[in-house]
Amino acid sequence: MTSVFQSNRPITIVGGGDVGPEDLSLALSIAPTCVAADGGSIVALAAGIELEAVIGDFDSLNASVLAQVPVERQHHISEQNSTDFDKCLRNVETPVVVGVGFLGGRVDHQMAAMHTLVVRADRPCVLLGPHEVVFHCPAQMELPTRAGDIVSLFPMSEVTGTSVGLEWPIDGLALAPGQRVGTSNCATGAIALTMAGPGMLCILPRRMLKDVTQLLASLPDHVKWPARAG
């Protein structure tokens, strides 16, 4: 797959959903290169942020918005089988993406964004929400959570794994949608998780954004998930 935008720095992708007053500044302090997913360009431009690229089907944009973005930075993808977030994530090459404007707002949009995290398992990305961050668990990870932090694990397919630092360990459990999930677990301190396969979403407190971003940006190859066939 040929990407339409490459950066050796983390990228913030802005969506057209709910964006809190501090979301953009927080994301850009960690991932300073900004790309918009279609209508997210309206949000970013209104905040005075320069866009390195706009990617999507452009169904949310009018000529006055597009006129503010150089033509060579506009990447129109007309197919309607994927969301604008998916179009963005699969078409940027970067160590890690911070997604803003994809959590909060419409539930169907949030579910689609979390589905994309799993579909594009080879593209490290963390979504920033009003209270939490969401990301796809790599094969192994360690994070400096604190005792009492909520750690929710939500399977998008059947996944098994092991845990250190959770009040209710996941060792020996088969987690799967429609069967058993791992929400509302609690850290007893720093956590270490291993996953036998892809498909597990992790939901952590919002203050973990920087730690999660650094984790995903520095994953060794042997704990990354490969791109899905097709």
Domains of the chain: 9-130 (3.40.50.10240), 140-195 (no CATH)
What local confidence, expressed as pLDDT, does residue 215 receive?
98
What local confidence, expressed as pLDDT, does residue 229 receive?
58
- How far is the C-alpha of 193 from the C-alpha of 41, rounded, in Å? 36
Residue-wise over 190-201: b if at least 16 C-beta within 10 A, else e?
Answer: ebebbbeebbbb
What local confidence, expressed as pLDDT, does residue 127 receive?
98
Place of tokens 């990305």: 125
Tens digits of residue pLDDT in 24-82: 999 999 999 999 998 899 999 999 999 999 998 888 778 888 888 889 998 888 888 88
- Weakly modelled stretches of the chain, pLDDT under 50: none
What local confidence, expressed as pLDDT, does residue 133 receive?
98
The model's pTM is 0.94
Mean per-residue pLDDT of the chain: 94
